[in-house]
Copies of this chain bind each other. A is one copy, B any other.
Amino acid sequence: MVPHLITALTGPINELEQRIIDSMPATERWFRLEWMEHTPPFYTSVDIRNAGFKLAPVDTNLFPGGWNHLTPEMLPLAVQAAMAAIEKICPEARNLLIVPENHTRNSFYLSNLAQLQRIFNMAGLHVRIGSISPDVKKPLVMDLPNGESITLEPLLRERGRIGLKNFDPCTILLNNDLSAGVPGILEDLHAQYLLPPLHAGWSVRRKSKHFRSYEEVTKRFGKVLGIDPWLINPLFGKCSDVDLTSSTGLEQLQTQVDTLLGKIRRKYKEYGINEKPFVVVKADNGTHGMGVMTVRDAKELAALQPQTLASMAVSKDGQTVHDALIQEGVLTQERVHEAVAEPVVYMVDRYVVGGFYRIHADRGSDENLNAPGAGFVPLAFHHSTQLPQPGARPGASAPNRFYMYGVVARLAMLAASYELEATDPNAEVYD
């Protein structure tokens, strides 16, 4: 089933798609050279919004869940990329330990873990799952909706290494975004690879830093392609030390929102776009789609109820939000079965391995879709491939559309790579 692409026929995205397809060898070479200098995150997923007139990543996840939504057709690519990653980082590895989030009762999340276990097993590793959840005191066999089951075991620490009973892994795959901070059990590991590293977690990462890196990346890539980077870059501002429960904090936020809306308005005018600009306000460090607010006018903020502000101020795992990211809102013009849809692209190492559409029947094209009630539809290659087809009419080829998404997702991944280098506590300084 090829999702209906309602942006398929006209507008700047088709020009962008054409330019990206035409520049494929130059683009791929550009990425090759970047990856000579920079290390890609171990695995990444990127949420993309396609407004028809612009296309931008809105969230870059370095501990992606949702692997269970990749189709069986996509798995060989994921396995091959996992093999390449393992060969590069830890070829001698025999055992891999996955450290998951603590949602031990969420069967979607457990299916995600089962899929990760399958991918790395096929790549040639013994894979077991070690939970840091206080609920996991002994091995727990959890049944999955598809009839399979997985086993969660309590994580143990001994002589500076973590593992399970009778299982000493050389490599640890974190699938926990560390929103609650870094648990001591994961710190200062002795001679074990931790992938991704701890500073990729939300206790260190800031969205504003990511989008600052991304802006840099798009400026350089824009020159390669000869395009205005705005076509792939969401504008943003940052509001520091915001206390949304006080009126001072609110005023500061309103000013910032106003400024950003003004910038977007000028860009819309430049391109003759007749949409109403909006911004999205979210915590500068991670959440799972909670505390995300769509704002079309700074005045709306004054009218907000105290409980909305309070929910904004607290993110997943109860962390208080001090800094807010104000991001240019990017409409999503894609629809699958009439529901608003946004593509999510999955990568292992530097390779795009698959993706799907996140859809939400009850949300608008200017709203966050990563919310309860979301569904998932595999991306457009049921019987096809995700390889581009040079020569196809722009907008008419699902593989070409997906290739473009893959390019933008890789730009976001590259930005994350810069970001991780800049925040690496063990970085060597060559000044």
Measuring CB to CB, which residues of chain A are less than 8 angstroms from any residue of chain B?
Answer: 24-25, 27-29, 31-33, 35-36, 72-73, 75-77, 79-81, 83-84, 86-87, 91-94, 121-126, 350-351, 383-388, 390
Q: How far is it, in angstroms, between the C-alpha of A29 and the C-alpha of B386 when the chains are bound?
A: 29
Contact between chains at B32 and A91 (CB < 8 Å):
yes
- Interfacial chain B residues near A121, Cβ < 8 Å: 24-25, 390
Contact of A83 with B351 in the complex, beta carbons under 8 Å: yes
Hey, which chain B residues are within 8 Å of A28, CB to CB?
83, 123-125
Give the number of times this chain occurs in the complex, counting copies.
2
Other A-B pairs beyond A28-B124, A76-B387, 18, CB < 8 Å? A24-B121, A24-B122, A24-B124, A28-B83, A28-B123, A29-B92, A31-B124, A32-B86, A32-B87, A32-B91, A33-B92, A35-B87, A76-B386, A77-B77, A79-B387, A80-B80, A84-B84, A122-B388
Q: Can you list 20 A-B contacts with CB-CB less than 8 angstroms, sorted by A residue number? A: A24-B122, A25-B124, A28-B123, A28-B124, A31-B124, A35-B91, A72-B385, A73-B73, A73-B383, A75-B385, A76-B77, A76-B387, A80-B81, A80-B351, A83-B351, A84-B84, A87-B350, A122-B387, A122-B388, A383-B383
**Which B residues touch A390, using CB under 8 A?**
121
Which one of B94, B350, B385 contacts A29 once the chains associate, using CB atoms below 8 Å? B94
Distance between Cα atoms of A76 and B385 in the complex (Å)? 7
Residue of B nearest to A390 (CB): B121
| Contact assessment for A33 and B388 in the assembled complex, using a CB-CB cutoff below 8 Å | no
Closest B residue, CB atoms, query A127: B25
Judging by beta carbons under 8 Å apart, are B25 and A91 in contact? no
Specify which of A77, A84, A390 lies most central, judged by the most chain B CB atoms within 10 Å of its CB.
Answer: A84
Task: Give the residues in chain B near A73, CB-CB below 8 Å.
Answer: 73, 383, 385
> A94 contacts which chain B residues (CB < 8 A)?
25, 29
A351 vs B81: C-alpha distance when bound (angstroms): 10
Given A91-B36, A124-B24; A77-B75 close (CB under 8 Å):
no
Neighbouring B residues of A388 by C-beta, 8 Å? 122
Residue among A76, A351, A386 with the most chain B CB within 10 A?
A76
A124/B80 in contact, CB under 8 A: no
Query: Residue on B with the closest CB to A95?
Result: B25
Q: In the complex, A292→B91 CA distance in Å?
A: 41
Query: Nearest residue in B to A73 (C-beta to C-beta)?
Result: B385
